[in-house]
Amino acid sequence: MSENLVTTTAARYTWGGDEFLFIEISEDMSLAANFTANSMAAALGGQNLAGITDICPANASLLVRFNPDLIAPDLLEQTLRQIEDQVVHSSGQALQTRIIEVPVWYDDPYTNETGARFRSGHQRPEGTDLEFAAAENNLASVAEFITRHHESAWLVSMVGFVAGLPFMFQIVPQDQQLEVPKYLSPRTDTPALTVGHGGCFACIYSVRGAGGYQMFGIAAAPIFEPAQRLKDFQDFMVFFRPGDIVKFRPIDEPEYQRIQAEVSAGTFRYRQAPVTFDLQRALEDPVQYNKDIMEQLNGV
């Protein structure tokens, strides 16, 4: 993957009213731009400055909400520009994060039934979203597409749009990225926990609702739990955080039902392990880095 380790131009800083500072790191999403956004967010959060209300990293940008009565806008901007300079010129660009295994029932009846109800808004009225995705990526079969989908790691580039929904970027060379256009007309219904795809981004729909991403399967466990019953949600009702790395694991219907029973009983736990995301290694040898980082789940 040929890509500079850092963004080559300074970020653009703009104000939104009296309470928001927006930092546009790049016009295009890339691993380097997203790394900068997440690293700046982590560094700002680590300073525990009075007056910072919210820090929201996105695909290639960062939004900070603040109280101008507690922190002067010029001081906030100065602080963030210093953080940007430190991140961009750091000799060792690494982010402390975690890798998480997400069980997925691919080609499931729930998303297939939903897709069948909304074929009039699809580029290919016949067939399924998976069949369309395989053809769009010049793959021989749905099975080959599913293999390509779960055999590489995915970086959570941002969380939002609706509560708890992660956008994920495939850590592979650009010419190997899976890309699929969104529906021509958005659906008015999408099952909760649908694993979707639009453009080069994967996502998991945290709740049932409208959507336009192609549907490939359904995740077996919640990613947004306001009641916070499960242990993975004790600290926060939203499971994913920007910078997380996801490994999808294909499961069949019996395992899906078993996991559902664990969720109902309150005993389900995600398999996860702490990792250091090394930007240089990810860019220089993404194929080997994929293997190495996913191996961190072995023995968990």
Answer yes or no: same fold for 12-91 and 97-297. no
Tell whether domain 97-297 is in CATH 3.30.870.10: no
The predicted structure's pLDDT at residue 91: 66
Tens digit of pLDDT for each residue in 144-199? 999 999 999 999 999 988 999 999 999 988 889 999 999 999 999 999 999 999 99
Give me the phi and psi of 38, to 5 degrees please: -70, -40
Q: Name which residue leads in pLDDT, 93 or 251.
A: 251
The pLDDT-based confidence of 110 (bands split at 50, 70, 90) is very high
Of 9-13, 120-124, 243-247, the one with minimum mean pLDDT is 9-13
Tens digit of pLDDT for each residue in 197-249? 999 999 999 999 999 999 999 999 999 999 999 999 999 999 999 999 999 99
Which CATH number applies to 12-91? 3.30.1360.40
pLDDT over 70 percentage in the chain: 96
Q: Are 167 and 182 in contact (CB under 8 A)?
A: no
Q: How far apart are CA 230 and CA 237, in angstroms?
A: 10
Q: How far apart are CA 210 and CA 186, in angstroms?
A: 7
Apex 244 CA angle, 278 and 224, nearest 5: 175
Tens digit of pLDDT for each residue in 25-43? 998 888 889 989 989 999 9
The predicted structure's pLDDT at residue 32: 87
The predicted structure's pLDDT at residue 30: 85
The pLDDT-based confidence of 4 (bands split at 50, 70, 90) is very low
The predicted structure's pLDDT at residue 152: 93
Q: pTM for this one?
A: 0.89
The length of the chain is: 300
Indicate whether 272 pLDDT > 70: yes
The predicted structure's pLDDT at residue 286: 87
Q: Which two tokens stand for residue 243?
A: 């910078």
Average pLDDT over residues 257-267: 97
- Of 268, 241, 271, the closest CA to residue 165 belongs to 241
Give me the phi and psi of 214, to 5 degrees please: -60, 145
The predicted structure's pLDDT at residue 283: 87
Indicate whether 2 pLDDT > 50: no
CB-count exposure of residue 189 (10 Å: 0-12, 13-18, 19+) = exposed
Q: Name which residue leads in pLDDT, 95 or 16.
A: 16
Question: Can you give 194-262 as a three-state secondary structure string?
Answer: EEEEEECEEEECCCCCCECCEEEEEECCCCECCCCCCHHHCCCCECCCCCCEEEEEECCHHHHHHHHHH
Indicate whether 299 pLDDT > 80: no
Average pLDDT over residues 128-134: 97
User: What residue ranges do the domains of the chain occupy?
Assistant: 12-91, 97-297
Indicate whether 300 pLDDT > 90: no
